[in-house]
Amino acid sequence: MSEWRPPLALIGAWLGLLALLALTVTLAYVPLGASNAVVALAIGTIKAGLVAAIFMELRHRSGLTLVFAGAGLFWLGILLWLGSMDFLTRT
């Protein structure tokens, strides 16, 4: 009768995500200067990684699925990189 129980990995990811949420809100109130934005985005990236790896089951996937999932990220990188280059290098 244990077939309805959630796997430990799911519970761990959920609690980890809530802990990271608490951490990121707490750190937002600590004055770190320009690092505040970096910390917020870094924690956001870790949270997104947890969702992708565990909730979206990418850790069980191989090859082709990872390429398809990574393609969005790759294009996003091009969009953000080329899109912001002009603005960041303007004098």
Partner 1 sequence: MRSRKMPDGSAFAPQYASIPHRDHTAELGMWVFIATEVLLFGGLILAYFIYRHAFPHGFVEGSRHTEIVIGTVNTAVLLTSSFLVAWAVEIFSPATSRIATWLLMGAACLGLVFLVLKGIEYSKEYDAHLVPGIDFQSAGPLADGVQLFFILYFIATAIHALHVLIGICLLTTLATICRKAPTTRHHTALRSAALYWHFVDMVWIFLFALIYLPGRSSS
Number of residues that bind partner 1 (CB under 8 A): 49
Sign (positive/negative) of CA torsion 35, 78, 48, 53?
Answer: negative
- C-beta of 10 vs 91, nearer to partner 1: 10
Q: What is the dihedral of CA 53, 57, 59, 62, to 10 degrees?
A: -130
Tokens representing residue 33 in the block: 């200067």
- Which residues, numbered 10-69, are part of the site for partner 1 (CB under 8 A)? 10-11, 13-14, 17-18, 21, 24-25, 28-32, 36-37, 40-41, 43-44, 47-48, 51-52, 54-57, 60, 64-65, 68-69
